[in-house]
Amino acid sequence: MASGIYWVIYHRAAVQKAAETARSGSPAVPVLAVKVGQKDVPIYLDGLGTVQAFNAVAIRVRVDGQLVKVAFTEGQDVKVGDLLVQIDPAPYKAALAQAVAKKAQDEAVLVNARLDLKRNVDLVAKSIVSQQVYDTQLALVNQLDATVKADQAAIDAAQVNVDYTTIVAPLEGRCGIRLVDQGNIVHANDTNSCVLITQLRPISVIATLPEQTLGDIQKQWAHGALTVIAVDRDNKTTLGEGKLTVIDNQIDTTTGTLKLKATFPNTDLKLWPGQFVNARLLLETRKNGVVVPAAVIQRGPQGSYAFVVKEDKPGEKPGGKPSDKPEDKGGGKPSGPTAGEQPARKPGELTVEVRPVKVALIEGGEALIDEGLKPGERVVVEGQYRLQAGSKVKLRTNGKPAAESGAEQ
């Protein structure tokens, strides 16, 4: 309520001062004015992002033994199946050979037991041996058959251990710093890995945005994939362009933020795991948006406003409204302006109007206007500090009046 009363008093004082200034014949204020433009304006949501590897694998050993070969170099790009490290396979090959021999031994015993079972079938039919002898031999055959199967399982387990002695790359990526040197004894329960492999192409960016943006993001995402731009910390260098892939399934209650994940091709490797970037989510593009330089926007008790340049017509008061008094129309004896009123301007005089505006956003030195201005109108971009509602102005270009420079803004 107090701010409204202040605005009314301020406005009346400004009008009265403008009238007194006009009567005193003060010179026009030189200002720099531009025309209100119109173009497509992208609308971004900005948040802090962290680059993460698309996949990351810590290479660990799965059997004990001596590390006899390190086949990779630090920083090397590897493909799936490339050899990384080799553990001494000799003990495990010996165990494999032993398991194979044990199976062969048990298979020979099984063959002999099956021959005895076949003979017992004929003898039982002729009542030479009892049924009990036949059943006992049948159980022995089944037992030996299970033993052979167990031997095969032991062979498979031994073969797995032999395979574990050769460690290959599980994915395409880049090797990090070597953490174990050749010749060391390694164990399956070691906490340290041999090397970390990270996938850099593609790569991911995890960004956080305020929870209030969730509705707008979901609305636009329903119409198609959303573009995310990764910008360096200087807010100038573009590091890559990707697509939004995941919206986290919950909001962080401690910070009131929402996590988003975007995927970038990263063909030029400008994005690196652990890097901090500014993530810009392209929410939408405002078609034929009304734009002005950011310097045009002024702020007062009632919000944002701009000074709009008007050309008064004969017999009009500042602001473009015709006078209703007969003396202003040429009839009767002019009595001069009363207190609080402003006299009619001369033909072609330029004045300014204070116009409230609604600003959607300010980006890159330009302001996107939702309400208050129309394309083609002229607004003051420099010299506002000397202006009031109804002030006379003259346009200048590059520091000179427009009439002298021969150019018009």
**How deeply is 399 buried, as exposed, middle or buried, from its count of CB atoms within 10 A (0-12, 13-18, 19+)?**
exposed
**Annotated domain spans of the chain:** 2-40+289-323+342-405, 44-54+200-286, 56-197
User: What CATH number matches the domain at 44-54+200-286, 2.40.30.170, 2.170.190.11, 3.30.70.1350, 3.30.2400.10?
Assistant: 2.40.30.170
Output DSSP code: residue 135.
H
pLDDT for 368 beyond 80: yes
Whether residue 337 has pLDDT greater than 80: no
Q: Over range 154-176, report the average pLDDT.
A: 97
SS3 (DSSP) at 72: coil
Tell me the per-residue pLDDT of 63-98, one tens digit each, with 9 for 90 and over.
999 999 999 999 999 999 999 999 999 999 999 999
DSSP structure string for 209-278: EEGGGHHHHHHHHTTSPPEEEEE-TTSS-EEEEEEEEEE-SS-BTTTTEEEEEEEE--TT----TT-EEE
Please check the confidence at residue 128 and state whether its pLDDT lies above 90.
no
Tell me the C-alpha distance between 377 and 34, whole Å. Answer: 8
Is CATH 2.40.420.20 the right assignment for the domain spanning 2-40+289-323+342-405?
yes
Work out whether strand 227-231 and strand 29-35 pair parallel, antiparallel, or are unpaired. unpaired
Beta strands in 2-116 (DSSP E): 29-35, 37-53, 56-59, 65-70, 77-78, 83-87
Kind plus residue range of the DSSP H or E element containing 110: helix 90-125
Instruction: Match 């990526």 to its residue by tokens.
Output: 173
Looking at residue 338, the DSSP 8-state letter turns out to be P
Kindly tell me if the per-residue pLDDT of 371 is higher than 60: yes
pLDDT at 340: 42
108, 112, 115, 116: CA torsion to nearest 10: -160
Answer whether residue 150 shows pLDDT above 60. yes
Q: What is the per-residue pLDDT for 341?
A: 46
**pLDDT band at residue 123 under the 50/70/90 scheme:** confident
pLDDT at 121: 80
Q: Which helix (H) or strand (E) holds 171?
A: none
pLDDT above 70 covers a percentage of the chain that reads 81
Portion of the chain with pLDDT greater than 90, in percent: 67
Q: CA-CA distance, 374 to 379, in Å (whole number)?
A: 10
Q: Is the pLDDT confidence value at 141 over 70?
A: yes
Q: What is the pLDDT of residue 390?
A: 87
Report yes or no on whether pTM surpasses 0.75. Answer: no
- The per-residue pLDDT of the chain, averaged, comes to 85
pLDDT value, residue 408? 43
User: Measured between alpha carbons, how far is 347 from 401 in angstroms, rounded to an integer?
Assistant: 19
144-153, 172-181, 255-264, 357-366: segment of lowest average pLDDT: 357-366
pLDDT at 27: 79
DSSP annotation of 192: S
Q: Is residue 19 within 8 Å of residue 25, measured between CB atoms?
A: no
pLDDT range class, residue 195, cuts 50, 70, 90: very high
Question: Which CATH number is correct for 56-197, 3.40.50.720, 2.40.50.100, 3.20.20.100, 1.10.630.10?
Answer: 2.40.50.100
